Structure 1
Amino acid sequence: MPRYDFRCRSCGATFELRRNMAQANDPAVCPEGHADTVKLLSAVAVTGGSGGSAPQQPSGGGCCGGGCCS
């Protein structure tokens, strides 16, 4: 289930809720009971966990790298 971050405009608290995507824009009440909250934009970084090196780009080929332009 996705996690959504919120901030309370009344007390300034930030909190997270797990809810279905269909409920993503539903109002949220902060842990202190205030209803004046706003959903925060979350930036998620996804990285590979294999520990291997990044794949290498192929060399040569193509018009600009293969010498087909004269």
Structure 2
Amino acid sequence: MPRYEYRCRACGATFELRRPMAQSAAPAPCPAGHDDTVKLLSTVSVGGTARGGDAPAPSGGGGGCCGGACGCG
């Protein structure tokens, strides 16, 4: 089940709730009991590399027809 982050407009607290996607826009009272909250926009960050430490660097050449294999152009 996804987690959604909310911010309370009354006290400024931020909090997370786990709920089904269908309920993501449903009202979410803050832990202090205030009802004036907004759902925050979440971002996903993916880091790292696709190659291992000893893997060879990818070589050039895109292949495909216009990559020189069929004589187009």
**TM-score interval w.r.t. the shorter chain?**
0.7 to 0.9
Per the alignment, residue 13 of structure 2 pairs with 13
CA RMSD of aligned residues (A): 2.7
Unaligned runs of 5+ in 2: none
Using the size of structure 2 for normalisation, the TM-score is 0.71
**CA displacement at 1:60 relative to structure 2:** 5.0
CA gap of 1:33–1:57, structure 2 versus 1, over 3 A, is farther
Identity of aligned residues (%): 61
Using the size of structure 1 for normalisation, the TM-score is 0.73
Distance across 1 between alignment mates of 2:62 and 2:25: 49
CA gap of 1:56–1:23, structure 2 versus 1, over 3 A, is same
